[in-house]
Chains A and B, each alone.
Chain A
Amino acid sequence: MVIHWENIVITIIAFALLYWLLNKFAFGKLFAVMEKRRELVRGQLEEAKQTREQATVYVEEQKEALKQARQDAFEIIEQAKQSSSKQALDLLDQAKADATRMKEEAIRDIESERTKAVDALRGEIGAFSVNIASKLIEREVENNPADQEKLVDQYLKEVGSRS
């Protein structure tokens, strides 16, 4: 083990030179890029965090919207149900009213027809009666038209009250 001071000097010079060269040509760039990479990773992490938060907010919004849509649909269905039942009731009422009206009309018609028929009948019967009576009592009342009229009316009244 012999120490040569010359070797020590050479080593120091060589190492200093290597240090200088590496610092100048390699390490500076490397450190800068490493710093950039660190920044990049930090930025990406930050971005991912933000994206996740946004996604959470978005999902919440979507949930809210879905809930709203469900409620809307429910309301629409309810409305439809209500309106349909109302319509049915309306229709039923209408039908009832129609039926009542038609029945009344029919009754009225029948009544008027009957009145008419009774009137016509009364007239005809009157005429027939007059004919029959005139034929039967032609001779007796031939000379007294006033008695004849009186008689007929009396008879007609009897007929009318009977019918």
Chain B
Amino acid sequence: MHDAPIINLGGFNLDLSAVLMLFVSGTLVFLLCILATRRLSVENPGKLQNFMEWVVEFVQGIIGSTMDLKKGKPYVSLGLTLILFIFISNLLGLPMGFITEAHKPEMIFGHVIEATKDLANGEHAELLWWKSPTADVSVTAGLALIVFFLMNYLGLKNNRKHYLKHYVEPFPLLLPLNLIENLAKPVALAIRLYANIFAGEVLITVILKLGLVGIPFMAAWQGFSVFVGALQAYIFTILTMVYIGQMTIHEEGESH
């Protein structure tokens, strides 16, 4: 099992790997979007612009399938950021991992890395620096928490009466169950994304141990991982929109 390169900044455990990968992922998404929207043209769109417009329309399709597109318009930006960020994050771990082996307490930026603090003679720790940020359950939990807060906040703000009523329906005895249902949503979101991507990376590590024999397996698995990465990004985004739609929009005649 690989350890995360965590340093302790006065009680705040800073995961350098997570920071690095989030930064890389965010930068890539940002650069992609800036490049795609740098030379916008109304009459003669470039390839990147066409690609971005396709993504936007894809996200609009997702939102349109879960709620009224007019009401869902403000969430297009959110969906776009989510799907691009998660997809690129999922892909980052595929081409390579970057692992260092530490045999003694290592220092970085003047702080000791937590996992190597207690290393004595003969012991060693493997520090995983480069990975998919979404292969870290804390990161996916962060994303899921954003969605969780957002959907409950939007539910309370736009649809307060039905949002609150929903917890005691069909009868008040089910309140705990409804609360659990609500809480289970972000947990499921986080675990699903984390498990898919983490499992993919574990399998890549395993196939690497096969040596040359593993090349065809690796090719197949890499391809499948790209597919899984896209699929998980899509699932995360569409579930986010489904939850927001459920919480914020009360459809007449619907029995919540």
- Which residues from chain A sit less than 8 Å from chain B, CB to CB? 1-12, 14-19, 21-23, 25-27, 29-31, 33-34, 36-37, 40
Query: Given A18-B81, A22-B29, A26-B37, are A3 and B42 also a contact pair (CB < 8 Å)?
Result: no
Query: Given A4-B13, A4-B138, A25-B34, are A15 and B56 also a contact pair (CB < 8 Å)?
Result: no
Task: Identify which of B72-80, B93-101, B121-129, B245-253 touches chain A.
Answer: B72-80
Which residues of chain B from 63 to 78 have any CB-CB distance to chain A below 8 Å in the complex? Answer: 76-78
* 5 sampled A-B residue pairs with Cβ under 8 A: A15-B146, A18-B85, A22-B29, A25-B30, A40-B42
Add 13 more A-B contacts to A8-B142, A27-B76, A37-B45 (CB < 8 A).
Answer: A1-B137, A4-B4, A6-B13, A7-B18, A7-B141, A8-B145, A14-B23, A23-B81, A26-B36, A31-B56, A34-B53, A37-B42, A40-B43
CB of B6 within 8 Å of the partner chain? yes
Query: Given A18-B81, A30-B40, are A3 and B29 also a contact pair (CB < 8 Å)?
Result: no
Contact indicator B42/A33 (Cβ below 8 Å): yes
Chain B residues with Cβ below 8 Å from A23 are: 77, 81
Contact indicator A30/B22 (Cβ below 8 Å): no
Contact indicator B29/A18 (Cβ below 8 Å): yes
Q: Which of A14, A21, A31, A37 neighbours the largest number of chain B CB atoms within 10 Å of its CB?
A: A14
Q: Shortest Cβ distance from B126 into chain A, in angstroms? A: 15
Chain A residues with Cβ below 8 Å from B12 are: 6
- Which residues from chain B sit less than 8 Å from chain A, CB to CB? 4, 6, 12-15, 18-19, 22-23, 26, 29-30, 33-34, 36-37, 40-43, 45, 49, 52-53, 56, 76-78, 80-81, 85, 133, 136-139, 141-143, 145-146, 194
Contact indicator B136/A15 (Cβ below 8 Å): no
Cα distance A7–B30 in the bound complex, in angstroms: 21
Contact indicator A4/B34 (Cβ below 8 Å): no
Cα distance A2–B29 in the bound complex, in angstroms: 27
Contact indicator B18/A10 (Cβ below 8 Å): yes
Chain A residues with Cβ below 8 Å from B80 are: 22, 27
Return the contact of B15 from the options A10, A15, A34 (Cβ within 8 A).
A10
Chain A residues with Cβ below 8 Å from B81 are: 15, 18-19, 22-23
Chain B residues with Cβ below 8 Å from A5 are: 138
Chain A residues with Cβ below 8 Å from B18 are: 4, 7, 10-11
Query: Given A3-B141, A4-B6, A22-B30, are A33 and B40 also a contact pair (CB < 8 Å)?
Result: yes
Chain B residues with Cβ below 8 Å from A31 are: 56, 76
Cα distance A19–B12 in the bound complex, in angstroms: 25
Chain A residues with Cβ below 8 Å from B26 are: 14-15, 17-18
Cα distance A5–B11 in the bound complex, in angstroms: 12
Cα distance A29–B22 in the bound complex, in angstroms: 25
Chain A residues with Cβ below 8 Å from B133 are: 11
Cα distance A19–B74 in the bound complex, in angstroms: 13
Cα distance A27–B136 in the bound complex, in angstroms: 28
Cα distance A36–B41 in the bound complex, in angstroms: 10
Q: Shortest Cβ distance from B37 into chain A, in angstroms? A: 4
Closest A residue to B27 using CB positions: A18
Cα distance A46–B50 in the bound complex, in angstroms: 23
Cα distance A25–B27 in the bound complex, in angstroms: 13
Q: Shortest Cβ distance from A34 into chain B, in angstroms? A: 6
Cα distance A10–B49 in the bound complex, in angstroms: 31
Chain A residues with Cβ below 8 Å from B29 are: 18, 22
Chain A residues with Cβ below 8 Å from B4 are: 4
